A and B are shown apart, each in its own frame.
Chain A
Amino acid sequence: MKIAKETTMKKNLIIGGVAAIAAAVITKSNIEKSRAIRRDFVKTRHKVLIVGATSAIAQETAKRFAEEGNDLFLVARNEANLNAVADDLRARGANKVETAVLDLNELSEHTGLLEQVTQSLGGLDIALIAHGTLGDQEASQSDFDIARQELKTNFLSIVSLLTLIANQFEAQKSGVIAVVSSVAGDRGRGSNYVYGAAKAGVTTFLQGLRNRLSKAGVTVITIKPGFVDTPMTAHIEKGPLFVGPDVIATGIYQAILNKQDVVYLPVFWFGIMSVIRHIPEGIFKRLSL
């Protein structure tokens, strides 16, 4: 009995040791691999479109691209704010910063916008779509016009842009599309289901687009931030789950660098949403969320 125990222990030790060495080797090769990916990524000058460039998350992400000397094209609604962001990115080292002032709900302008972007940058490699509004749920549920506006901004305008960009990237057989969706799209909640529905639509649209474009070598990334401390959430009392936009930006940058598919930011939201998605509807409907 005792001998058997000792043998088992030894066996376990050996298995543990081998596993640890294997893990170390895998980790080391992973680190080297990710360093190599980063080196290659930084070496190339990318042509990057950032839509919703004055949002806190977009500004922070754009800084990272600017510091590496990339060419940027920024789109936002407010001209003065857009210029402030553009100046910042130029000072930080962007090789080129072009801008266009546009309300993205003007869907008919999208074709012209993409032509302008492609022409002024001399092509396009990366598109980050980060515009959106966190509308008032109560207003949306009492007035369909408000709900329609929310859905237009947070879903339709994205579909319109992505249709154009996807076709261009598919034709050129390369490109990275990163879209800021939300964990709010993972399950509808009474407190913000209009916004959530728009984001669920975006997430599902991106799933399909990824499936289609992977054959053409185009990367489609769904970004799902949790609670972010930005002007968009200024009116909400901040709990411990809130993170700064710089944390999200680092995650987005990494996801683009590594051509990931779906990223929860920070990563612990994957766990939280796994639990939330699996609560039976019969129970879920009675919760106040």
Chain B
Amino acid sequence: MKEYQSWGRVFHYEHKIRPVLWRDSDLRLNELDAPVLPFGLGRSYGDSCLNDGGYLLDARPLNRFISLDREKGLLRCEAGVSLAEILKLIVPHNWFLSVTPGTKFITLGGAIANDVHGKNHAYAGTFGAHVTQFELLRSNGDRLLCSPTQNTDFFKATIGGLGLTGLILWAEIQLKRIESPFIEEDIIKFDNLDEFFEIAADSEEAYEHTVAWINSSATGASLGKGLFMRGNNAAPPFAETPHQPSDLQITVPFDAPDFVLNKATMRALNALYYGQQAAKIKHRLAHYESFFYPLDAILQWNRGYGKRGFMQYQCIVPYDDNHRAIQQILEKVAASGLTPSFLNVFKTFGDYPSPGMLSFPRKGVTLAIDFANEGQATLDFQDELDRIVLDSGGTGGYAAKDARISPAFFRAFYPQMDEFSQYVDPKFSSSFWRRVTGRRANNQ
């Protein structure tokens, strides 16, 4: 039985479901009595993929490939195809996604609607930068072919447009040539923020993929310590035997009881994770599965946070020699009474422009932190973080993650939201959009 929930499992909404079976289907969206929103695999963390009291257009049945040009690396497929399905098809032909987020269990339509990013932002920008065209179905029945040269306004509004501009029926993306499914990976231990920025700067030129995991329990001199991972796509012949991914798929079968994830266990997990590597630097030839999608090996890992669910806070702050804002945020997290999270992602964004009107990524340092949902305290705490980010000139309110930002902060981070609103389909809405625009349900 399919659940229509978001990944953080904080919201429990009632939806009416309309599966979209064929890309030619006459959906008669105009005749429906409540707002509609496309739904893919429900991997957004908050409420951007939810539409309380309205319809969800389940796009997963739209999971057919249309064509793969094996010479040029152009893939055209329906919007409900998952990145996992795409990889299964393209990797044997030595193609890869130009940009991939940290999970492959999202749909193509979702990747475009959230203009997702990966570990190679400085090199390749966002997912939307590699979309060559797509077809957008509006509620009045219009089908718009959008590309960088056709219906360009809808093209820009729909990339990162959170499914609000209409339903993406199919899209074409430019793939990236690879010579093997492996990544030459370095894992480097760093002891504090200064060291992170040093390694990041050193790695900028020579490594396409970079990301760091930081230990949020560390304080004082070791504030911001963690592991820096960098890598490049590998080409045979290999000096060492490539590390094969395990076929083992673990599923978290049920909600973990709330007491499992508490301050002590999280601290222990953090210590274990960061303590496992004794050497300063470790090299390995990693399979793309373990390099890009380490958490995909554990299905339903979100259940680990228990029934109450969890939230993820992600922000970008501009570069600053003293990394004042990052330091403030990390200090605040460590000092807060909240359960610290296990895996916190730390990454640099380059100045590759995002094609979407409402896209999140821009030049700076991005930080993503998970919080078990502990009610009001968790919400208030994130408001405090928003304040720091805003004061630093940064951006918060990444819709794919957000479950709580206030309308005022959202407007401050996204002044372009009014321009974007012109392209929102009158029949489309989401719980997120109603929340950040301060509107009530059934009133767009």
Chain A residues in the interface with B (C-beta under 8 A) = 56, 80-81, 84-85, 87-88, 90-92, 229, 231, 234, 238-240, 242
Contacts and interface: CB of A to CB of B under 8 A. Distances in A.
A240 B1 contact: yes
Contact of A84 (B1, B22, B68): B22
Given A231-B19, A234-B19, A240-B1, A91 B24 contact: no
Interface stretch (B6-14, B59-67, B376-384): B59-67
A81 B1 contact: no
Interface residues of A, dominant DSSP? helix
B22 A80 contact: yes
B84 interface: no
B264 interface: no
Contact of A87 (B19, B24, B66): B66
B21 A91 contact: no
Contacts of A56: 61
Contacts of A231: 19, 21, 61
Given A56-B61, A91-B67, 11 more contacts: A84-B24, A87-B65, A87-B66, A90-B67, A91-B77, A91-B89, A92-B65, A231-B61, A238-B1, A238-B2, A240-B1
B411 interface: no
Contacts of A92: 65, 89
B171 to A, nearest CB: 14
Contacts of B2: 229, 238
B23 interface: yes
Contacts of B77: 91
A81 B66 contact: no
B1 A87 contact: no
Interface residues of B, number: 16
B137 to A, nearest CB: 15
Contacts of A80: 22, 24
Interface string B57-98: 000010011111000000001100000000001000000000
18 contacts: A80-B24, A81-B22, A84-B24, A84-B64, A84-B66, A84-B78, A87-B65, A88-B64, A88-B65, A90-B67, A91-B66, A91-B68, A91-B77, A231-B19, A231-B21, A238-B2, A240-B1, A242-B1
Nearest to B63: A88
Nearest to B70: A91
Interface string B38-71: 0000000000000000000000010011111000
A231 B60 CA distance: 12
A42 to B, nearest CB: 15
Nearest to B77: A91
B66 A88 contact: yes
Contacts of B19: 231, 234
Contacts of A84: 22-24, 64, 66, 78
A85 B94 CA distance: 24
A80 B78 CA distance: 14
Contact of A91 (B22, B23, B61, B65): B65
A240 B2 CA distance: 10
A84 B21 CA distance: 11
A86 to B, nearest CB: 10
Nearest to A90: B67
Nearest to A66: B65
Contacts of A85: 64
A85 B66 CA distance: 9
Contacts of B61: 56, 231
Nearest to B170: A84
A91 B70 CA distance: 10
A231 B21 CA distance: 8
Interface in B243-260: none
Pick the 6 closest A-B CB pairs, nearest first: A91-B65, A88-B64, A80-B24, A88-B65, A91-B68, A238-B1
Nearest to B75: A91
B186 to A, nearest CB: 35
A56 B59 CA distance: 15
A281 to B, nearest CB: 33
B141 to A, nearest CB: 16
A81 B65 contact: no
Nearest to A229: B2
A238 B2 CA distance: 9
A56 B61 CA distance: 9
Contacts of A239: 1
Interface string B382-426: 000000000000000000000000000000000000000000000
Interface in B22-36: 22-24
A29 B19 CA distance: 45
A289 B77 CA distance: 42
Nearest to A93: B89
A239 to B, nearest CB: 8
A280 to B, nearest CB: 33
Nearest to B65: A91
Contacts of A240: 1
Nearest to A237: B1
A242 B1 CA distance: 7
Contacts of B1: 238-240, 242
B21 A87 contact: no
Contacts of A234: 19
Contacts of B64: 84-85, 87-88
A234 B2 CA distance: 12
Contacts of B23: 84
Nearest to A239: B1
A240 B1 CA distance: 7
Contacts of B65: 87-88, 91-92
Interface core residue of A85, A87, A90 (most chain B CB under 10 Å): A87
A27 B202 CA distance: 55
A90 B78 CA distance: 14
A234 B58 CA distance: 12
Nearest to A91: B65
